[in-house]
Amino acid sequence: MLETRNVSVFYGSHHALDGASVTVDKNEIVVMLGANGAGKSTFLRAIAGLTPAAEGSVITMDGIDITGKSPDDIVEAGIATVPEDRGIFADLTARENLLLGAYPERARPHEAENLDRVLSLFPRLGERQNQAVRTMSGGERQMVAIGRAMMSHPSILMLDEPSLGLSPLLCSELFRSLTDVKETGVGIFLVEQNAKQSLAIADRGYLLDNGHVTGAGSAEELSKDQTVINTYLGGTDAKIGKPARPIVAPDEATAEAAAEAAENPYAITAGSRASARTRLEEVLPVSIADLVDQATHIQSEHVRDVRKVHPDAAPAQPVPGSVETGEISKPAPPPNRAAPRHRAAPSASAELQAMLAGMEKAAADAVGGGGPASSEADKYSH
């Protein structure tokens, strides 16, 4: 049995893992759930001897203290790791990668037996033994990585995000394979963000948040826990009958945003969006609504200029069957050739460009503390 007690890890002054304690027995699947940056991969690396654990940490395998041991000694103790990047040799064949896994002394007497077991668990690898791994799909590469770890004759198999980058179909196939691995008597410690599928195959689970183990229980208990549902299974408060959040008036948005920011500074709320819009309009020399009105006005002036240059141009005729004609008939089919489009007059384009340039300068001055908006921008603010 793998057991950790009060395992902590520091990266410089950063406390990445703080007092994590778990147990993983043979013939069971234990999952650890947590968000990105929670410390899951760091925990696995500490157990595998790839990252040094802090003083006071204790890691045992079958009652033997392996804290601070080298990675190869930990493999000899019966713990194999499949890292997040798989760590396979892409230019070697699938068979060559598998045989490399049998290098540890504990695995050499069982090489043929373990190879047969891996190929029976992953029949696709049997079909592609002589294929270079770099030419295989993501799912097949993950099979090679798991198979190579199995070749070391482990008692505990640790996997770091095995479903990462796989399609939903391959994920389902992978998790089914892990249940078959468990039936061989190997214990599996699974670090995963795919909470739904991992809890479906797991016996027990732990929750890791900001380096702390915040919860533990059977897979069934965790899958019914409302916190787990909301955080990892896509649940919402509405599913348990909580009232919907009221829609606040615009003048109350800023106050509510401040209150919610105090509770969760990373939340994106209607109030914070309204506040961001207010700050944006403070930077711009004109309001967004005024900008739309001015653009419409410039376009209207351009249309009048075009009609002055082309006085004989007939106005657009209403489409038969439209509201203007009052007829109830099918619209006429479109002509074979599209009507030519008139390009914007240079004067209209130049005026729009000047207005936008002035607004950009005003925004840059306001953000950089360069003082009031330029006179060019002020021309469009009235």
Who has greater pLDDT, 258 or 352?
352
Q: Are residues 66 and 130 in the same domain?
A: yes
Task: Tell me the mean pLDDT in the region 64-82.
Answer: 94
Q: What is the pLDDT of residue 256?
A: 56
Which of 41-50, 220-229, 359-368 is predicted with the least confidence, judged by mean pLDDT? 359-368
Q: Quick one: CA torsion of 8, 9, 13, 14, rounded to 10 degrees?
A: -90
pLDDT beyond 80 at 275: no
pLDDT at 359: 79
Last residue of a domain, one of 238, 260, 290: 238
Q: What is the mean pLDDT of residues 78-101?
A: 91
Does residue 193 share a domain with residue 170? yes
Average pLDDT over residues 334-348: 52
224 and 259 share a domain? Answer: no
The percent of residues above 90 in pLDDT, for the chain, comes to: 42
Contact present, 57 and 20 (Cβ < 8 Å): no
Same-domain check for residues 64 and 20:
yes
Same domain as 254, residue 229: no
What pLDDT does residue 165 have?
79
Asked if residue 207 and residue 256 are part of one domain, the reply reads no
Residues 203 and 269 in one domain: no
Lowest mean pLDDT among 22-26, 84-88, 195-199: 84-88
Question: Is residue 71 located within the same domain as residue 25?
Answer: yes
| CATH number of the domain that residue 25 is part of | 3.40.50.300
What is the Cα–Cα distance from 186 to 215, expressed in whole angstroms?
24
SS3 call for 21: strand
Residues 118, 263 within the same domain: no
Residue 243 covered by a domain: no
Give the tokens for residue 23: 């147990």
- Say what the pLDDT of residue 78 is: 94
Give the model's pLDDT for residue 376.
47
Residues 194 and 271 in one domain: no
User: In this predicted model, what pLDDT tens digit does every residue of 194-252 receive, in sequence order?
Assistant: 888 899 999 999 999 999 999 999 999 999 988 888 888 776 543 433 333 333 444 45
Residue 41, pLDDT score: 92
In a domain? residue 255: yes
**Mean pLDDT of all residues in 30-36:** 91
Does 173 reside within a domain? yes
Whether residues 269 and 165 share a domain: the answer is no
Residue at 302 is within a domain: no
Q: Is residue 357 part of a domain?
A: no
pLDDT at 366: 67
Tell me the residue range of the domain where 254 lies: 250-282
Domain-located, residue 363: no
Angle between helices 168-183 and 111-121 (to 10 degrees): 140
Query: Which of 24-35 are b and which e, b meaning 16 or more Cβ less than 10 Å from the residue's Cβ?
Result: bebebbbbbbbe
Is 366 part of a structural domain of the chain?
A: no
Amino acid residing at 38? A
Residues 285-312 have a mean pLDDT of 67
Q: Sorting pLDDT into bands at 50, 70 and 90, what band is 130?
A: very high
Mean pLDDT to the nearest integer, 266-284: 47
Same domain, 75 and 130: yes
Tell me which of 206 and 294 has the higher pLDDT.
206
Rg of the chain (C-alpha set):
32
Please tell me the total count of domains within the chain.
Answer: 2
Has residue 45 been placed in a domain?
Answer: yes
